[in-house]
Amino acid sequence: MEINKKAYGEYVKKLTPKNPLGKDMLKAFLVGGVICALGQMSTMWMMNRWGMEKETAQTWTQLELILASVLLTGWNLYPGLVKWGGAGALVPITGFANSVVSPAIEYRTEGHVFGIGVKIFTIAGPVILFGVFASWILGILYWAVQML
């Protein structure tokens, strides 16, 4: 049975959801901006209120954002934020923490080793692997340029 390509194309076009690009970009900008603004406010508060040095305050802010992302993922709130805000919720450090925690939560019923241990880096593993590999390559290139 031969499929009519034109009819099939129209069928696919009819079923494909239409995403308003401008609206999606605005929502991503707002969500990412709010996450980053909260992080900046936390850093400034720690520097001004507790007298922390900038680097120390930034480190604690990163830990706070990661913890918030993990808790919101565990309470099943972060996926809704990602669905609404798109890349705005996925790009910052909170999105990376979410990508590590989500598989762990999903596969926890399979046990600590074969569930959480095996699946925890399903999404984040390739990012870590290729990040380390790219750093290694760039380090060798940097070393080679320095030797010249």
Q: Please say whether the beta carbons of 64 and 71 come within 8 A.
A: no
**Rounded Cα–Cα distance for residues 76 and 58 (Å):** 27
In the chain, the percentage of residues whose pLDDT exceeds 70 is: 98
Report residue 118's pLDDT band, with 50, 70 and 90 as the boundaries: confident
Output the pLDDT for position 1.
Answer: 52
Q: φ and ψ at 3, to 5 degrees?
A: -95, 135
pLDDT digits (tens, 9 = 90+) for 7-47: 888 888 888 888 889 999 999 999 999 999 999 999 999 99
Helix (H, G, I), strand (E, B) or coil at 148: coil
At 97, list the tokens: 């923490």
Supply the mean pLDDT for the chain: 88
pLDDT digits (tens, 9 = 90+) for 69-87: 999 998 999 989 999 999 8
Q: Which residue has the tokens 């990376």?
A: 96
Write the CA distances from 118 to 69, 107, 115, 132, integer angstroms: 21, 9, 6, 20
Report residue 2's pLDDT band, with 50, 70 and 90 as the boundaries: low
Helical H segments across 2-117, by residue range? 5-15, 21-49, 54-74, 78-85, 87-90, 93-106
